Chain A
């Protein structure tokens, strides 16, 4: 019978399979957050600073999509990427690329919705100043994003938390293939189903530790940034 310590043992002995799993988990979730940030931050800022017909409906929808169930996101991407689906020719089903896409779908609404709220609050604060300074729309967006940069780090972390924690989407589109698409969360699901609960909980501990480390790094980056920016 394995014990939770046997998971620690895997760390201490530098088990290559475990490191491959950890690496893939980070690769998938961080890539997803990076892509989602490139889409979500400009999108959120744009919605915050423009007025158009149906804007409030868009905001409600975006906020609602923060609660998109991972299995639904997984299913949508699965149907798109299946050989019988519209993007089947890519051959991406059961690959890390598919897992990244599914997580982008989950994380983008979180980043966009929170960015929209943050930028809009700042805009209310700075509107008179920016209007008086006669700064154009693009300048306004850049100024506000710049000023919100530390809040944006927290927003990115919220997105990363969502990506790192979910199993529903990546197990559908990745297939939990040993050595290829197995991540921390899908490995935990598998070990649980094999009845190896101590190993599963040990892996869970490692996952939590990794998430803490990523958050600590982001905090350090933020602190350093604040110190430099004064």
Chain B
């Protein structure tokens, strides 16, 4: 009855399943790879799914994308956990460079932000071209507004737009003057759109994520086309002088490809239902 063998068999049956494929796991097979810290917008919009296979085909390099908000992506790079950062908040990128964590910033592409809102349009701002006026109206009417609240590029852009409208969100929050209409969820773009869809709220989104978003419900674009809604993406190699583990040659190869005519064309070619999501502009020195 006390059979060690049978007990061990029972246990072994369970355990044997586990390491079965460890040797063939992708983890051990890949050495020609880089880690890119990027934003939820580039991943959720499907852009990486389109361009990375083309890059891999050409160079054999695997690009592992960790999709986070811009602020978190830059922090990941600061700790040395990524080789390249590909984000969209120029002021935060400049700070990253000034601290010595980045080698050089290259502009890659742009799209624009759009203000999304419910069909019922409780603030009555649909069809406007003036984002600042629209935000002011939302606050006046205390219409529900979803904020990313996660230091992402979109969150930074949103806070800047509120500032242009003369509203300092951070300050109002501190002094508890901000009403419950402003809901700060601390999550990614997709989650923010889901929340807006569920609660008939307004939300600022990048156009790429919006176009690929599938759970729209009653949501639609209410304000677009304002120059201040411009959304620029930049790419930087993490400074090998700060973190010796950075794969500088492979990382630079990826950057060079992104800004090459071939990479720029791959970005321009990415479309959803015939609509282009990102516009390459690596040649623009002011971008």
Where the two chains meet, the residues of A that have a C-beta atom closer than 8 Å to any C-beta of B are 1-2, 20, 23-24, 26-27, 30-31, 33-34, 37, 82-85, 88, 91, 93-97, 142-143, 145-147, 149-150, 152-153, 156, 175-181, 190, 192-197, 217-218, 221-222, 225, 228-230
Contacts and interface: CB of A to CB of B under 8 A. Distances in A.
Given A84-B80, A91-B245, A195 B65 contact: no
B22 A31 contact: yes
B21 A94 contact: no
A195 B51 CA distance: 22
Q: State the main secondary structure of chain A at its contact with B.
A: helix
A76 B66 CA distance: 19
B183 to A, nearest CB: 17
Contacts of A23: 21
Contacts of B6: 149, 225, 228-229
B171 interface: no
Nearest to B36: A177
Interface in B27-66: 27, 30, 35, 40, 43-44, 48-49, 62, 64-66
Contact of A193 (B18, B44, B81): B44
Interface string B229-273: 000000000000001010000000000000000000000000000
Contacts of A27: 18, 20-22, 25
A88 B80 contact: yes
B2, B10, B67, B216, most chain A CB atoms within 10 A: B10
Contacts of B66: 94, 175-177
Contacts of A33: 14, 18
A1 B215 CA distance: 9
A142 B188 contact: no
A26 B22 CA distance: 11
Contacts of B190: 192-195
A30 B25 contact: no
Contact of B194 (A176, A181, A195): A195
Q: For the side of the interface on B, what is the size category? A: 35 or more
Given A91-B245, A149-B7, A194-B190, A1 B214 contact: yes
A99 to B, nearest CB: 10
Given A152-B11, A196-B214, A229-B6, A94 B81 contact: yes
Contacts of A196: 214-215
A178 B14 contact: no
A37 to B, nearest CB: 7
B143 to A, nearest CB: 22
A195 B22 contact: no
Contacts of B136: none
A217 B215 CA distance: 37
Contacts of A145: 7
Q: Which of A26, A37, A180, A221 has the most CB of B within 10 A?
A: A180
A180 B79 contact: no
Contact of B2 (A31, A146, A190): A146
A96 B4 contact: no
Given A31-B18, A177-B66, A37 B11 contact: yes
B213 A222 contact: no
A156 B11 CA distance: 9
Nearest to A228: B6
Nearest to A78: B81
B193 interface: yes
A225 B6 CA distance: 6
9 contacts: A30-B15, A82-B80, A91-B245, A97-B27, A146-B2, A146-B3, A152-B7, A193-B190, A195-B197
